[in-house]
Amino acid sequence: MRSLRTAVHNSNGYQERMSLRDHDKTFLVSLPLVATEEVTYKKRPFGILRYSPGNDNIGAMVMEIIPKSRYPGDPQGQAFAAGVKSGLLLKSINGQDVSSMEFAQIMDLLDDEVMDQSMP
């Protein structure tokens, strides 16, 4: 039987492809949240280029976004248009708390790796 949708496990090799940078912040997911914002995406890709794991590979932080929306409805400009910024922590995905999940599990839930990293 063929499936119309193939499951892609972004966690497979994600950290090798999107390795940590020297300037990346480390974080503990146990720190209290200052404020939360809800962002709803309509389609993939969201426009987030890179995420980073927290200490012990728990949690995920937005590290880089595509810094502009190229045209109205640009899926890769959704994060920018919604006000997502580097340093934001992911708290939940589709109502499921991910703040204490392993980074690889979060990446699989998001299923949102931008395959072509080149900027126009």
* Mean pLDDT taken over the chain: 79
In a domain, 29, yes or no: no
**Tens digit of each residue's pLDDT (9 = 90 or more) over 1-60:** 444 544 545 555 555 555 666 667 677 766 666 678 889 988 888 999 999 998 889 999
In a domain, 27, yes or no: no
Q: Are 54 and 60 in contact (CB under 8 A)?
A: yes
What range does the domain containing 105 cover?
A: 39-110
In a domain, 2, yes or no: no
In a domain, 89, yes or no: yes
In a domain, 76, yes or no: yes
CATH number for the domain spanning 57: value is 2.30.42
**Tens digit of each residue's pLDDT (9 = 90 or more) over 77-87:** 999 999 999 98
In a domain, 106, yes or no: yes
Q: How many domains, the chain?
A: 1
Q: pTM score > 0.75 for this model?
A: no
Residue 10's pLDDT is what? 52
**Residues 18, 50: Cα–Cα separation, whole Å:** 6
**Residues 67, 119: Cα–Cα separation, whole Å:** 10
